[in-house]
Amino acid sequence: MAVAANMSVASLGTDTGGSIRIPSSSACGIVGLKPTYGRVSLHGCFPDVWTMQHIGPMSKTIHDAATLLSVIEGGDKKRSLFS
């Protein structure tokens, strides 16, 4: 992963079954944050399962993950699960 190799400060990942959280903490020693459903838009994402898909930040520190989350969070009127 680019973040773990110091090639990037942060990155985005998707999580259907743990892909943000598990590799980040277990294999790479970085922070992976899975936001609550709907907090980050899925527009442009090709999910495996719509009701389980999340997009979230991965970074070296919790502060960086929180900063990136504040940038990407927000609903999307173009793509809503319930519309």
Report pLDDT digits (tens) over 36-81: 888 888 877 877 777 778 899 999 999 999 999 999 998 666 655 5
Per-residue CA distances from 13 to 9, 47, 54, 73 (Å): 14, 12, 8, 14
Say whether pTM exceeds 0.85.
Answer: no
Judge whether residue 82 has pLDDT over 60. no
Compute and round to an integer the Cα radius of gyration of the chain: 13
- At residue 15, the pLDDT reads 86
* Of 55, 62, 45, residue with least CA distance to 15: 55
According to DSSP, the residues that pair with 10 across neighbouring strands are 59
